[in-house]
């Protein structure tokens, strides 16, 4: 694995994409064939599940290093990463270790761990600890904790693999779809097998829209664009091939077993049909809130009650394959009319719905709709060029998403915790509160949205304004006010404040506002109430 260690170091040590791609290419050209797929899996974030309990890992590290558990915990707060903490705490090797383990063997060991008794696990893990050091030890521990991430995007990996194989990037991207397992594949099966035959379960790479960052007027004639409401569900692909049905999520998880509603499509739709759309709970002729979807996804057993409470449909907006033919090159309007025809002809019932194409007389009217999108059960508009092909990945130009403005509220910083990774040992994870009858009630956490410079300033402020420490968490004097944005809000019995926010983030630091002028719990409840008004 020494070549993979060098690859990791090269990627980790540079911010230049050209250097990263060159390093991956060099690795692919020299690494053992049996290792390559494992490296690719790791690079793409397709890592094995955590095979052991981190509590055990802490105990073993404590015993091996003679560092007490509490001190490991304190160190972890500072380092911000358990795998790195353990790597640094383990006693240094007496002499340089030279044993080289193949990546494949390492993965075998990680997977084998899952079915071992704790004593066996311990023996295997500490055995590796005594054989590895430096970056190799760190990588091994990252695999044990199940969160090894390498600083490359999927796009870059695809680029390097395409260069290595002498194939096009869209083709490689397609081959690398789905959560393929490096244990079940080899280079040939992954890149040579016939897609329709051997890989009939594989989805097409999703085409993703860019956020509209200009005046829509600049897009030109409205007639050239197909405009649809942007729904807030889960992007998915329904595939019927060889008499089988597959439902994939945009996160490339196979959801067929969880989305049981789609099962009848297997016999309804002809083989060689692939539809792209939004999977969303739908009741009484209306889409339901995303929070309903979330609870539905979380269920292990889908009981009758759950099915009745959150019945899923797919709102279809694109057709990627028809009669076994890849039609992604067709212009959108042609794909769409074919899709319309299919939904009309085949008895898809209420399971598949056609996404409505909206017509507005002007961009101004579209803008009005966008602003009120929540009242229309949407989170904005999708604007797609009628002649656009179905491209691969996120591309500018033909597809735009035009989201409604997020809801915002001013909260007071009350707790801070240090972050992880690049933000380790820096107070960057904040809890915010709003006023409720003269008291501050915490209602959300938020992590992102501030510049590095602001983070350093606030970190320093937190250190000087700490009231109390609770392990890694500090409570601070309630003085700083931040404007927070979020995409959704719901009543929640699980949260002390009674509300749960969706995708909260920091918009800006309101240095102009004292804590007393922050928003109140009532303001939050009003936001929920105004949303429900529209639903009634």
Using alpha carbons, select from 91, 101, 125, 130 the residue that is nearest to residue 35. Answer: 101
Task: Provide the 3-class DSSP secondary structure of residue 228.
Answer: strand
Q: Which residues of 143-171 are buried (b: 16+ CB within 10 A; e: fewer)?
A: bbbeebebebeeebbbbbbbbbeeeebbb
Region of 45-53, 228-236, 414-422, 487-495 interacting with other proteins (CB under 8 A): 414-422
Among 421, 479, 503, 529, binds other proteins (CB under 8 A): 421
- Counting contacts by CB under 8 A, is residue 490 touching other proteins? no
Region of 104-112, 195-203, 244-252, 463-471 interacting with other proteins (CB under 8 A): 463-471
- Counting contacts by CB under 8 A, is residue 529 touching other proteins? no
Half-sphere exposure for 104 (CA within 13 Å, toward CB): 12
Among 300, 469, 496, 536, binds other proteins (CB under 8 A): 469
- Counting contacts by CB under 8 A, is residue 26 touching other proteins? no
* 12 contacts 134 by C-beta, under 8 angstroms: no
Distance CA(10)–CA(19), nearest Å, equals 8
Give, as ranges, the residues between 129 and 158 that touch other proteins (CB under 8 A): 138
Distance CA(258)–CA(518), nearest Å, equals 42
* 203 contacts 274 by C-beta, under 8 angstroms: yes
- Counting contacts by CB under 8 A, is residue 65 touching other proteins? yes
* 200 contacts 240 by C-beta, under 8 angstroms: no
Q: What is the closest distance, in whole angstroms, from the C-beta atom of residue 62 to other proteins in the complex?
A: 10
- Counting contacts by CB under 8 A, is residue 496 touching other proteins? no
Give, as ranges, the residues between 77 and 106 that touch other proteins (CB under 8 A): 78-81, 84-85, 88-89, 92
- How would you class 318 by CB atoms within 10 Å of its CB: exposed for 0-12, middle for 13-18, buried for 19 or more? buried
- Counting contacts by CB under 8 A, is residue 69 touching other proteins? no
Among 3, 64, 74, 271, binds other proteins (CB under 8 A): 74
Using alpha carbons, select from 497, 501, 469 the residue that is nearest to residue 487. Answer: 501
Region of 214-222, 223-231, 296-304, 465-473 interacting with other proteins (CB under 8 A): 465-473
Q: What is the closest distance, in whole angstroms, from the C-beta atom of residue 142 to other proteins in the complex?
A: 11
Number of residues that bind other proteins (CB under 8 A): 35
Q: What is the closest distance, in whole angstroms, from the C-beta atom of residue 420 to other proteins in the complex?
A: 8
- Counting contacts by CB under 8 A, is residue 465 touching other proteins? no
Using alpha carbons, select from 493, 515, 508 the residue that is nearest to residue 454. Answer: 508
- Counting contacts by CB under 8 A, is residue 127 touching other proteins? no
Residue 262 CA, chain-centre distance (Å), reads: 24
Q: Which residues bind other proteins (CB under 8 A)?
A: 12-14, 65, 67-68, 70-72, 74-75, 78-81, 84-85, 88-89, 92, 138, 420-426, 452, 466-471
């Amino acid at each position: 694995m020494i070549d993979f260690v060098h690859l990791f170091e090269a990627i980790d040590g540079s911010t230049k994409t050209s250097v990263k791609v060159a390093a991956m290419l060099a690795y692919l050209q020299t690494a053992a064939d049996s290792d390559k797929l494992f490296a690719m899996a790791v690079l793409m974030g397709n890592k094995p599940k955590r095979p052991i309990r981190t509590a055990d890992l802490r105990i073993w590290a404590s015993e091996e290093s003679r560092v007490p558990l509490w001190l490991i915990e304190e160190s972890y707060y500072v380092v911000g990463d358990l795998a790195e903490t353990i790597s640094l705490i383990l006693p240094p090797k007496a002499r340089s270790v030279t044993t080289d383990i193949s990546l494949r063997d390492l993965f075998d060991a990680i997977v084998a761990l899952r079915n071992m008794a704790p004593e066996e696990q311990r023996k295997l893990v500490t055995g590796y600890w005594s054989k590895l050091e430096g970056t190799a030890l760190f990588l091994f521990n990252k695999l044990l904790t199940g969160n090894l991430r390498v600083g490359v995007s999927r796009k870059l990996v695809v680029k390097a693999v395409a260069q290595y194989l002498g194939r096009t990037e869209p083709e490689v991207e397609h081959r690398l779809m789905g959560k393929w397992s490096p244990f079940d594949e080899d280079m040939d099966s992954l890149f040579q097998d016939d897609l329709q035959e051997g890989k009939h379960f594989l989805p097409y790479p999703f085409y993703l829209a860019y956020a509209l960052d200009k005046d829509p007027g600049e897009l030109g004639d409205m007639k050239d664009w197909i405009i649809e409401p942007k729904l807030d569900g889960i992007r998915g692909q329904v595939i019927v091939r060889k008499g089988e049905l597959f439902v994939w999520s945009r996160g490339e998880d196979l959801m067929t077993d969880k989305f049981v509603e789609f099962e009848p499509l297997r016999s309804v739709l002809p083989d060689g049909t692939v539809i792209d759309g939004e999977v969303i709970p739908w009741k009484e002729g209306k889409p339901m809130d995303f929070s309903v979807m979330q609870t539905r996804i979380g269920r292990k057993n889908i009981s009758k009650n759950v099915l009745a409470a959150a019945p899923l449909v797919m709102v279809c907006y694109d057709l990627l394959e028809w009669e076994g033919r890849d039609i992604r090159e067709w212009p959108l309007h042609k794909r769409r009319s074919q899709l319309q025809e299919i939904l009309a002809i085949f008895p898809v019932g209420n399971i598949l719905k056609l996404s409505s194409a909206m017509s507005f007389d002007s961009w101004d009217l579209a803008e009005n709709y966008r602003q009120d999108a929540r009242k229309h059960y949407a989170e904005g508009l999708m604007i797609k060029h009628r002649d656009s092909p179905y491209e691969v990945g996120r591309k500018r130009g033909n597809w735009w998403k035009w989201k409604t403005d997020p809801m915002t509220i001013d909260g007071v910083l009350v707790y801070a915790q240090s972050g992880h990774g690049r933000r380790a040992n820096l107070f960057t994870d904040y809890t915010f509160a709003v006023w409720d009858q003269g008291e501050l009630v915490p209602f959300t956490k938020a992590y992102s949205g501030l510049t590095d410079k602001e983070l350093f300033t606030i970190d320093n402020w937190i250190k000087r304004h700490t009231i109390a420490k609770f392990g890694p968490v500090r409570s601070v004097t309630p003085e700083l006010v931040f404007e927070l944005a979020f995409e959704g809000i719901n009543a929640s019995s699980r949260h002390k404040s009674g509300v749960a926010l969706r995708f909260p983030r920091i918009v800006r630091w309101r240095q102009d506002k004292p804590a007393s002028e922050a928003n109140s719990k009532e303001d939050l409840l009003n936001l929920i109430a105004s949303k429900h008004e529209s639903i009634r």
